[in-house]
C-alpha cells in the first residue's frame, strides 16, 4: 500500500452521532496495548494504526475533533474480522468492536466509500441466487433493486464482519474481499504452496479458525510453521475452507488436510456446519480421484484446546504417515 | 524542522515510512497521559538502516524517538519535539539461543513472551517479565530497566544484560559489554544504556542472561482485614530471610475494581497478599511457603490458599494479573491514570507508605489504589480521576507533589521499574539534583546535538501536566 496516496479525501464535518456515546468509554481505555497481542490485522501489517488500540485512538480523535476523518482512517476502521480477541484481552472491559461498528455507521452516513475487510459483490457475474444471503448470520447481505428494478445483492458494510462465509459459498465466485488481509482464496492458496514447497518435511495442512483455537495456539509453546510436518493456515472462520483449497493442498503435495473449527453451537457464523457438509461431499469426490477419503479430517476445538489440537494433529500425522504420499496428485490438477 | 521523508523512504523502503495523519496520531501517545505528534514514523529492519537513519537525523538535527510496544506509562516515547519515531518492532528476530552458555542474543523488537516461548523447550527462561510481557519488547524493557512480579527473587532487566550493540546518535555502531557472565574492563557501558530511555543510543541487539525454569512453583494467597497488617507481613517476610519468588500486595480498591471488571468474586477484604516460592527441590519450596504462611498468620492473615497446580495458580493469580486495567472500571466517569505509579520504598516502610497514600488521595479528592511487587519494595498506585475536569488535574499535581515528598523523606525512589519519561521527571529532578549535571554531561558526550529522545528524564519540563497536550479532552 502506498501510504502517500492514502489521503484521497477528507471530510471535516461529520456528526459522529453513534460513536459519540462511547466518548467516556474511550477514556476508560488505558492504552496498555494488550488488545493487539493477538490481533490478526496487526500481525498482518505491523503498524500500530492497525491495532485495536490504534483504531480506538483514531475514533477518539475524530469524535473529539482533534483529527479530521480521512479515507485512510475510514479504511482502518473498516478493517476488522470481529474475532474479538482484543475484547477478551481488554480487562478494562472496553467493548472495542461495538465502538468500531458505531464508528463505521457514522462514516457510512457521511458517505465514505470504504471496503476494509468487508465483502464485495461483482455484479457482472452475480446470478442473484441468494445463497450468500441465507448463509450470512450477520444479516449483512440482502436482496435489493437497482434503479430499473433489477434484483441485486447488496452488502451492508456496517454489519459485515468479514468472516468470508459468503465468499466460500457463492457458486459464481461473485463475492470477494480485498487482497492483502491473507484471507482471499488466492492468498490462502499462496500460503499453502509456500508451506508445502518451502518445508522438506511438510505433509499436513491444518486449516485453523481464528475464533476458537488459533489464539490459544499462538500463546502455547507448540511449534507452528517451523520444521514441523504440518503447517497452520489461518482462515478466520472454518466455513471459508472451500473444496478448492483442500484440493489445492493435495495438488501441491500434501499427504493430508485437517480442518479445525469451533465445536457445534460455538461458531459465531455457523461456518463449522457448512465446512462439515463440504468436507463430507468432498470425501466422495476424493474417492473418484483415487485419494483416500481419510486423508481429510475435520475436528472441533474450543478456545484453550491447543493441546487437544496438537494431539489430534499428531494422531492424524501417524495415520497419514502410514498412507504415505498421494500417489496420483497430478490428477488433482485436472480439477 | 523539515524532515526529508523521501530520504527515509530510500533507506527503509516505501512501506516502512509514514507521514500520514493516521499513523502520526496513533504514534503520538503511549500508555501515559501525554500526547504529541511526531513528524514521521519509520520502521527499520536492519542495523545498517538504523545507522543510516541516525546519520541523517544527526546531520539534520532531527529528534529520533526509539519505540518498542508503546506500553510505557510515563511518556518515554511521546515525541515532545516531533521528529522521527523509530518503531523497532520489525527487528524481532531471536538471533541465537545458547543453552550451554546460558545466554540469548536478540534484536530489540523481540516480544518478551515470544522469547520465553522460544526458550521453554530448552527448559530456560528470561525472568524480568513485566506485567505487559505479552507485548513489551526487549528493547523497551532495556530502556526502562523494566522488572515485574518476580523481581523480588530474579531482579530487573539490568541484572540480565550481558552485552549489547548500540547505534549512537551519529550513526556509529558500538558493541558494549561481553558474552561472559562477568567482565572487568572499565566502564560498564551496557549498564549505562539500561534505563536510559532511548536518550543515549538505539539498542539494535542485546545479549541477555537466561536461567533454568524451576521444577516446582507454589503460589498462595492470604487475606487481611487491614492494609497495615498486610504491609507488616510483607516487611516481615523479607526481613525473615525467606526467599519468595513473588510477593504481591493488592488493596481494597484494587480488589473491588477487579471484581467489577472481571466478576471473579475475590473476597472484598482490606488487602490481599500473594506469595510464591520456586525451586528444584520440593521440600525447599515447602519450607519457604510454610515460613511465609506463618508470618502472614502472625499478622492476622486468613483464608490462606496454596497450590502447586498450574491451573489453580492461574486462578489464584487471575485478579492480580488484570488489576492494572481493571482499575478503569472502578467508578463511572472516573478513569485510571498512570501517574506516580511505581515508587520504590524500603521494606520496613511499606505499611506506612500504603496508609499515607490513601490519606493523601482522600485529602485531594482522587481515588488511589495501592498494589505492587511489595517484596522488592515496588509500590504501584494509580490515580483515578475525572479527566474532563481541570480541577482534577490540579488535584493530581498536588497528590504527586505530596506523595513524592513523603516517599523521598523515607528514603524511597521516584520510579522502581517504569522509568521517568515526562510525568515523573519533576519530582525526580527535585530529589536528585546532585546527579542531574552528571547525567547531562554523559548525554552531551554521547549525543551532542540532543537528538535522541530529547526533553525526557533530566531534560524534561518542570511541570508534567503542561509538558504536552493531555490525551483527554479537558472540558471545564
CATH of the domain at A315: 3.40.50
Nearest 5 degrees, angle CA B57-CA B63-CA B65?
110
DSSP B378-426: EEEEEEEE-TT-HHHHHHHHHHHHHHHHHHHHTT-BS-SSS--TTTTHH
- Is A101 found in the same domain as A21? yes
> What chain A residue is nearest to B68 in terms of C-alpha separation?
A48
A91–B261 C-beta distance less than 8 A? yes
CATH of the domain at A150: 3.30.70.3270
Within its chain, how far is the Cα of B145 from the centroid?
7
Mutation pick from B6, B17, B26, B317 vs chain A, by most beta carbons of A within 10 Å, is B26
- Is A20 found in the same domain as A129? no
B338–A30 C-beta distance less than 8 A? yes
A91 to chain B, any CB pair closer than 8 A? The answer is: yes
B261–A36 C-beta distance less than 8 A? no
Instruction: Please state, as a whole number, how many other Cβ atoms lie within 10 Å of the Cβ of residue A145.
Output: 10
E-strand stretches of chain A:
120-121, 141-145, 151-155, 175-176, 204-208, 230-234, 256-261, 296-300
B134–A28 C-beta distance less than 8 A? no
**pLDDT tens over chain A, length 335 residues:** 444 344 344 455 688 999 999 999 999 998 999 999 999 999 999 999 999 999 999 999 999 999 999 999 999 999 999 999 999 888 788 999 999 999 999 999 999 999 999 999 999 999 999 999 999 999 999 999 988 899 999 999 999 999 999 999 999 999 999 999 999 999 999 999 999 998 888 899 999 988 888 888 887 765 444 467 888 899 889 999 999 999 999 999 999 999 999 998 888 888 899 999 999 999 988 988 889 999 999 999 998 888 899 899 999 999 999 999 988 655 665 55
Choose among B224, B443, B228: nearest CA to B354. B228
Mutation pick from A34, A73, A79 vs chain B, by most beta carbons of B within 10 Å, is A34
Choose among B239, B271, B231: nearest CA to B351. B231
- Is A155 found in the same domain as A96? no
Contact assessment for residue A76 and residue A61, using Cβ atoms and an 8 Å cutoff: no
- Is A170 found in the same domain as A104? no
CA distance A248 to B471: 50
CA distance B372 to A30: 18
- Is A16 found in the same domain as A61? yes
The pLDDT value recorded for residue A13 is 64
**What secondary structure letter does DSSP report for A75?**
H
Mutation pick from A2, A20, A28 vs chain B, by most beta carbons of B within 10 Å, is A28
Considering only the beta carbons, identify the residue of A33, A68, A76 that sits closest to B70: A33
Instruction: Indicate the number of domains in chain A.
Output: 3
CA distance A170 to A301: 26
CA distance B16 to B38: 15
The pLDDT value recorded for residue A10 is 47
A72–B135 C-beta distance less than 8 A? no
pLDDT(B1) > 80: no
Mutation pick from A6, A11, A31 vs chain B, by most beta carbons of B within 10 Å, is A31
B90–A58 C-beta distance less than 8 A? no
Q: Is residue A114 part of a domain?
A: no
pLDDT > 90: what percent of chain B? 84
Q: Is residue A335 part of a domain?
A: no
Residue with grid cell 475475590, as numbered in its chain = B266
CA distance A151 to A173: 18
Contacts of B388 in chain A (CB under 8 A): 27
A73–B14 C-beta distance less than 8 A? no
The pLDDT value recorded for residue A329 is 58
- Domains identified in chain B and CATH numbers: 94-212 (3.30.465.10), 216-324 (3.30.70.2190)
Task: List helix spans (H) across A36-82.
Answer: 40-45, 52-63, 71-77
Cell numbers describing residue B347: 521494606
Distances A82 to A239, A270, B107 between C-alpha atoms, Å: 15, 15, 32
> What chain A residue is nearest to B112 in terms of C-alpha separation?
A37
> What chain B residue is nearest to A88 in terms of C-alpha separation?
B262
User: SS in 3 state form for A257-299?
Assistant: EEEEECCCCCCCCCHHHHHHHHHHHHHHHHHHCCCCHHHEEEE
The pLDDT value recorded for residue B131 is 86
A12 to chain B, any CB pair closer than 8 A? The answer is: no
Residue B11, SS3 per DSSP: helix
- Is A201 found in the same domain as A319? yes
Q: Å from A37 to nearest chain B CA? A: 6
Distances B244 to B228, B240, B249, B429 between C-alpha atoms, Å: 20, 11, 13, 33
Considering only the beta carbons, identify the residue of B25, B332, B333 that sits closest to A57: B25
Residue with grid cell 471530510, as numbered in its chain = A11
A50 to chain B, any CB pair closer than 8 A? The answer is: no
Residue A11's domain spans which residues?
3-109
Name residues whose C-beta falls within 8 Å of residue A273's C-beta, 6 or more positions apart in sequence: A239, A264, A267
Q: Å from B26 to nearest chain A CA? A: 5
Q: Å from B209 to nearest chain A CA? A: 20
CATH of the domain at A42: 1.10.1060.10
- Is A152 found in the same domain as A70? no
Instruction: Please state, as a whole number, how many other Cβ atoms lie within 10 Å of the Cβ of residue B215.
Output: 12
- Is A155 found in the same domain as A203? no
- Is A105 found in the same domain as A129? no
CA distance B471 to B473: 7
Q: Which residues pair with B175 in a beta bridge?
A: B165
Radius of gyration of chain A, Cα coordinates, nearest whole angstrom: 21
B22–A24 C-beta distance less than 8 A? no
- Is A193 found in the same domain as A149? no
pLDDT tens digits, B6-30 = 999 999 999 999 999 999 999 999 9
Contacts of B90 in chain A (CB under 8 A): 46
pLDDT(B61) > 80: yes
Q: Is residue A331 part of a domain?
A: no
- Is A189 found in the same domain as A139? no
> What chain B residue is nearest to A10 in terms of C-alpha separation?
B21
Considering only the beta carbons, identify the residue of B21, B30, B70 that sits closest to A67: B21
Name residues whose C-beta falls within 8 Å of residue B349's C-beta, 6 or more positions apart in sequence: B235, B410, B411, B412
Amino acid at each position: 500500500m502506498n501510504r502517500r496516496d492514502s489521503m484521497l479525501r477528507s471530510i471535516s464535518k461529520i456528526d459522529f452521532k453513534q460513536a459519540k456515546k462511547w466518548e467516556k468509554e474511550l477514556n476508560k481505555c488505558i492504552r496498555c496495548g494488550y488488545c493487539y497481542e493477538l490481533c490478526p490485522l496487526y500481525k498482518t501489517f505491523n503498524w500500530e494504526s492497525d491495532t485495536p488500540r490504534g483504531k480506538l485512538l483514531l475514533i477518539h480523535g475524530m469524535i473529539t475533533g482533534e483529527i479530521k476523518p480521512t479515507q485512510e482512517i475510514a479504511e482502518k476502521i473498516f478493517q476488522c474480522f470481529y474475532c474479538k480477541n482484543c475484547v477478551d484481552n481488554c480487562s478494562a472491559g472496553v467493548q472495542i468492536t461495538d465502538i468500531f461498528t458505531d464508528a463505521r455507521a457514522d462514516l457510512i452516513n457521511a458517505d465514505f466509500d470504504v471496503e476494509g475487510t468487508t465483502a464485495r459483490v461483482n455484479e457482472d457475474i452475480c446470478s442473484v441466487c441468494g445463497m450468500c444471503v441465507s448463509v450470512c448470520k450477520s444479516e449483512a447481505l440482502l436482496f435489493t433493486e437497482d434503479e430499473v428494478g433489477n434484483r441485486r445483492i447488496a452488502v451492508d458494510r456496517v454489519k459485515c464482519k468479514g468472516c468470508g462465509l459468503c465468499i466460500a459459498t457463492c457458486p459464481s465466485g461473485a463475492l470477494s474481499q480485498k487482497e492483502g488481509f491473507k484471507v482471499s482464496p488466492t492468498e490462502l492458496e499462496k500460503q499453502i504452496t509456500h508451506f508445502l514447497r518451502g518445508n522438506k518435511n511438510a505433509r499436513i495442512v491444518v486449516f485453523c479458525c481464528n475464533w476458537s483455537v488459533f489464539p490459544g495456539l499462538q500463546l502455547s509453546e507448540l511449534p507452528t510453521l517451523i520444521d514441523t510436518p504440518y503447517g497452520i493456515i489461518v482462515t478466520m472462520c472454518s466455513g471459508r475452507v472451500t473444496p478448492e483449497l483442500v484440493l489445492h493442498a493435495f495438488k501441491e503435495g500434501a499427504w493430508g488436510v485437517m480442518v479445525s473449527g469451533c465445536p457445534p453451537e460455538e461458531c459465531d457464523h455457523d461456518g463449522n456446519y457448512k465446512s462439515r457438509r463440504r468436507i463430507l461431499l468432498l470425501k466422495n469426490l476424493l474417492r473418484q480421484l483415487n485419494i483416500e477419503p481419510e486423508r481429510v479430517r475435520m475436528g472441533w476445538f474450543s478456545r484453550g484446546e491447543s493441546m487437544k489440537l496438537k494431539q489430534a494433529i499428531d494422531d492424524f500425522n501417524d495415520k497419514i504417515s502410514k498412507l504415505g504420499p498421494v500417489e496420483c496428485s497430478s490428477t488433482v490438477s485436472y480439477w | 524542522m523539515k524532515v526529508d521523508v523521501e530520504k527515509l523512504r530510500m533507506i527503509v523502503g516505501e512501506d516502512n515510512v509514514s507521514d500520514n495523519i493516521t499513523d502520526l496520531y496513533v504514534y503520538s501517545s503511549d500508555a501515559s497521559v501525554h500526547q504529541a505528534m511526531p513528524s514521521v514514523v519509520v520502521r527499520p529492519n536492519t542495523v545498517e538502516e538504523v545507522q543510516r537513519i541516525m546519520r541523517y537525523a544527526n546531520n539534520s538535527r532531527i529528534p529520533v524517538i526509539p519505540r518498542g510496544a508503546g506500553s510505557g506509562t510515563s511518556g518515554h516515547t511521546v515525541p515532545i519535539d516531533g521528529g522521527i519515531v523509530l518503531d523497532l518492532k520489525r527487528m524481532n528476530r531471536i538471533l541465537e539461543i545458547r543453552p550451554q552458555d546460558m545466554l540469548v542474543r536478540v534484536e530489540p523488537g523481540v516480544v518478551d513472551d515470544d522469547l520465553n516461548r522460544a526458550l521453554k523447550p530448552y527448559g530456560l527462561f528470561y525472568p524480568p517479565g513485566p506485567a505487559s510481557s505479552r507485548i513489551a519488547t526487549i528493547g523497551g524493557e532495556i530502556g526502562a530497566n523494566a522488572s515485574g512480579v518476580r523481581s523480588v527473587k530474579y531482579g530487573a532487566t539490568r541484572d540480565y544484560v550481558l552485552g549489547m550493540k548500540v547505534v549512537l546518535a551519529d550513526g556509529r555502531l558500538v558493541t558494549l559489554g561481553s558474552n561472559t557472565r562477568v567482565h572487568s574492563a572499565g566502564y560498564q557501558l551496557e549498564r549505562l544504556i539500561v534505563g536510559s530511555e532511548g536518550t543515549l543510543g538505539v539498542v539494535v541487539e542485546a545479549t541477555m542472561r537466561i536461567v533454568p525454569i524451576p521444577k516446582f512453583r507454589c503460589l498462595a494467597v492470604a487475606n487481611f482485614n487491614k492494609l497495615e497488617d498486610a504491609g507488616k507481613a510483607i516487611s516481615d517476610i523479607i526481613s525473615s530471610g525467606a526467599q519468595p519468588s513473588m510477593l504481591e500486595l493488592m488493596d481494597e480498591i484494587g480488589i473491588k475494581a477487579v471484581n467489577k471488571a472481571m466478576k471473579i468474586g475475590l473476597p472484598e477484604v482490606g488487602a490481599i497478599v500473594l506469595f510464591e516460592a520456586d525451586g528444584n527441590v520440593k521440600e525447599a519450596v515447602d519450607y519457604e511457603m510454610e515460613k511465609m504462611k506463618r508470618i502472614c498468620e502472625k499478622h492476622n492473615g486468613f483464608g490462606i490458599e496454596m497450590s502447586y497446580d498450574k491451573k489453580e495458580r492461574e486462578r489464584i493469580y487471575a485478579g492480580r494479573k488484570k488489576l492494572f486495567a481493571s482499575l478503569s472500571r472502578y467508578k463511572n466517569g472516573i478513569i485510571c491514570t498512570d501517574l506516580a505509579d511505581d515508587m520504590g520504598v524500603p521494606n520496613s516502610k511499606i505499611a506506612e507508605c500504603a496508609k499515607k497514600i490513601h490519606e493523601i488521595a482522600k485529602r485531594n479528592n482522587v481515588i488511589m489504589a495501592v498494589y505492587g511487587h511489595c517484596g522488592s519494595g515496588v509500590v504501584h498506585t494509580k490515580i483515578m480521576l475525572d479527566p474532563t475536569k481541570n480541577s482534577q488535574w490540579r488535584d493530581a499535581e498536588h497528590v504527586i507533589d505530596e506523595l513524592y515528598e513523603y516517599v523521598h523523606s523515607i528514603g524511597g525512589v521516584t520510579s522502581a521499574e517504569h522509568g521517568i519519561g515526562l510525568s515523573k521527571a519533576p519530582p525526580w529532578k527535585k530529589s536528585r539534583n546532585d546527579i542531574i549535571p552528571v547525567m547531562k554531561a554523559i548525554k552531551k558526550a554521547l549525543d551532542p546535538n540532543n537528538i535522541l529522545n530529547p526533553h525526557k528524564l533530566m531534560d524534561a519540563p518542570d511541570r508534567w501536566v503542561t509538558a504536552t497536550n493531555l490525551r483527554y479532552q479537558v472540558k471545564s
